[in-house]
């Protein structure tokens, strides 16, 4: 078991109507003027933005708004948000939305207090020792989709100039509070729900397949969360009004990424990096890209540790075959079957991606001679092979 620090200081306020507490929560963390950051019109139409504003007004918290965050959030709106927040003298950033909105809010929060270009802190796989963000405005969230886990994580992913999808990290970026009301997710399009399920499942997979494996508690926690996502996720798709299923996956999405299931060992994260090139180039949903990439990654690296994949098959999907190899393969197949069942694409073509772009995708990933991931460190040619496997129709 490797040494680690576990620190998850976010206050998670979970349940029905919890958005009505947002004003008091901002006040308790010292916020006096809030930038409310959000995406498209659904937050306005549903009345959620109105309820948030009402709560802030009741707590006598001043506020300004900046909407327009798109999936795979871009740096141009971040720059606009930084200028706007500075001009308005904002001291607290409130994200009302999903992972894209929260990530954009984090970028603004760090940019407001930083003299240079906020993008200085966003790095690719080429950066060996990324610099953690040292300071930011405090951030709060009202989550509207169970997916990215950004509501409890220290990370933010932004697509910079040149379609470069890059990440940054820093403990200061963990939200002070996150409001999780499963009712807010009941009206989401089911495709978005499924993308969210795929993303949170992938967050656990990245922590489960690692070269340091003798951590019983972490394995057990990973498997517990993956089984929950599989069973409750299916239920959320087949019974869209099932509050219990929505509540289970909402909390699963948070614990899948606040690192409680990732302590004590090295993690992988290569599938995320390989996927980011797809959603940056084709503007597909990150979850959909992961549904295409991650099973392909599994097929490619399975032989590195067949026993591990057999355990995944048995404990997560309950499948067991004659021997370890066939069990391991059956597990990957069961994973794809689940992805298909919840409505995810499984190949490049379904995603709008093109096999002829593979050399460009690999170049854009820019490993610069370094390797990617830890379970099986990948070189450029390995990544190309994984993209090729992702082209196969299922």
Residue 340, C-beta contacts closer than 8 angstroms, at least 6 positions apart:
346, 394
Closest to 80 measured CA to CA, from 91, 69, 95: 69
Contact track, a copy of itself, 6-45, x by CB under 8 A? xxxxxxxxxxx-x---------------------------
Segment interacting with a copy of itself, rule: CB under 8 A, options 30-38, 84-92, 250-258, 379-387: 250-258
Q: What are phi and psi of 253, to 5 degrees?
A: -60, -35
Contact track, a copy of itself, 280-299, x by CB under 8 A? --------------------
Concatenated DSSP letters for 185-218?
A: GTTS-HHHHHHHHHHHHHHHHHHHS-S----HHH
Which of 199, 223, 380, 382 touches a copy of itself (CB under 8 A)? 223
- 65 Rama class: left (phi>0) / alpha (psi -120 to 50) / beta: beta
Q: How far apart are CA 366 and CA 117, in angstroms?
A: 22
Which of 185, 228, 279, 327 touches a copy of itself (CB under 8 A)? 228
Distances (CA, A) of 232 to 186, 282, 351: 14, 30, 25
Which of 221, 236, 301, 386 touches a copy of itself (CB under 8 A)? 221
Give the alpha-carbon dihedral of 66, 109, 26, 257, to 10 degrees: 100
Q: Measured from the CB of residue 261, what is the shortest distance to a copy of itself in angstroms?
A: 9
Tell the burial category of 164 from Cβ atoms under 10 Å away from its Cβ (0-12, 13-18, 19+): middle
Which of 29, 79, 123, 243 touches a copy of itself (CB under 8 A)? 243
Check binding of 214 to a copy of itself (CB under 8 A): yes
Site for a copy of itself in 133-172 (CB under 8 A): none
Which of 173, 255, 285, 301 touches a copy of itself (CB under 8 A)? 255
Concatenated DSSP letters for 341-372?
A: HTT---SHHHHT--GGGHHHHHHHH--TT--B
Check binding of 4 to a copy of itself (CB under 8 A): yes
CB 246 within 8 A of CB 194: no
CB nearer to a copy of itself: give 90 or 200: 200
Looking at the chain, how many residues does it have?
394
Which of 27, 227, 320, 354 touches a copy of itself (CB under 8 A)? 227
Check binding of 215 to a copy of itself (CB under 8 A): yes
Q: Using the Cα atoms of residue 152, residue 155, residue 159 and residue 164 in order, give the sign of their dihedral.
A: negative
Q: Measured from the CB of residue 138, what is the shortest distance to a copy of itself in angstroms?
A: 14
Q: Within 13 A of 184's CA, how many CA atoms are on the CB side?
A: 28
Segment interacting with a copy of itself, rule: CB under 8 A, options 83-91, 101-109, 255-263, 327-335: 255-263
Check binding of 186 to a copy of itself (CB under 8 A): no
The footprint of a copy of itself on this chain (CB under 8 A) covers a number of residues equal to 41
Segment interacting with a copy of itself, rule: CB under 8 A, options 85-93, 107-115, 183-191, 222-230: 222-230
Binding site for a copy of itself (CB under 8 A): 1-16, 18, 182, 214-217, 220-221, 223-225, 227-228, 231-232, 243-244, 247-248, 251-252, 255, 260, 263-264
């Amino acid at each position: 078991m490797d040494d680690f620090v576990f620190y998850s200081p976010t206050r998670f306020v979970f349940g029905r109507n919890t958005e009505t507490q947002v004003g008091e929560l901002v006040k308790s963390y010292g916020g006096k003027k809030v930038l409310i950051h959000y995406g498209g019109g659904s937050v306005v139409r549903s009345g959620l933005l109105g309820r948030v504003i009402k709560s802030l007004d009741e707590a006598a918290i001043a506020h300004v708004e900046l909407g327009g965050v798109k999936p795979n959030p871009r740096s141009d709106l971040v720059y606009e948000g930084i200028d706007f927040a500075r001009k308005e003298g904002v001291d607290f950033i409130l994200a009302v939305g999903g992972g894209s909105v929260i990530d954009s809010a984090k970028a603004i929060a760090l940019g407001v207090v930083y003299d240079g270009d906020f993008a200085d802190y966003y790095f690719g796989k080429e950066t060996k020792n990324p610099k953690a963000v040292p300071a930011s405005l405090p951030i709060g969230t009202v989550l509207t989709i169970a997916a990215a886990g950004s509501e409890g994580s220290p990370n933010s992913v932004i697509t910079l100039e040149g379609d470069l999808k890059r990440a940054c990290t820093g403990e200061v970026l963990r939200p002070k509070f996150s409001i999780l009301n499963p009712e807010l997710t009941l009206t989401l399009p089911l495709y978005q729900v499924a993308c969210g399920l795929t993303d949170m499942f992938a967050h656990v997979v990245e922590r489960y397949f690692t070269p340091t494996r003798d951590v019983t508690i972490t394995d057990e926690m990973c498997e517990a969360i993956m089984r929950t996502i599989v069973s409750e996720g299916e239920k959320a798709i087949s019974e869209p009004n099932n509050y219990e299923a929505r509540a289970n996956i909402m909390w699963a999405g948070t614990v899948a990424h606040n690192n409680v299931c990732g302590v004590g060992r090295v993690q992988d994260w290569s599938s995320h990096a390989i996927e980011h090139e797809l959603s940056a180039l084709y503007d597909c949903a990150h979850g959909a890209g992961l549904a295409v990439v991650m099973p392909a990654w599994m097929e490619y690296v399975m032989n590195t540790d067949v026993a591990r994949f057999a355990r995944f098959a048995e404990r997560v999907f309950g499948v067991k075959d004659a021997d370890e190899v066939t069990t391991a393969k059956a597990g990957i197949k069961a994973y794809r079957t689940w992805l298909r069942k919840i409505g995810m694409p499984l190949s490049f073509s379904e995603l709008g991606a093109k096999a002829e772009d593979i050399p460009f995708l690999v170049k854009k990933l820019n490993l610069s001679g370094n390797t990617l991931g830890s379970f099986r460190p990948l070189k450029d040619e390995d990544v190309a092979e994984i993209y090729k496997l992702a082209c196969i129709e299922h």
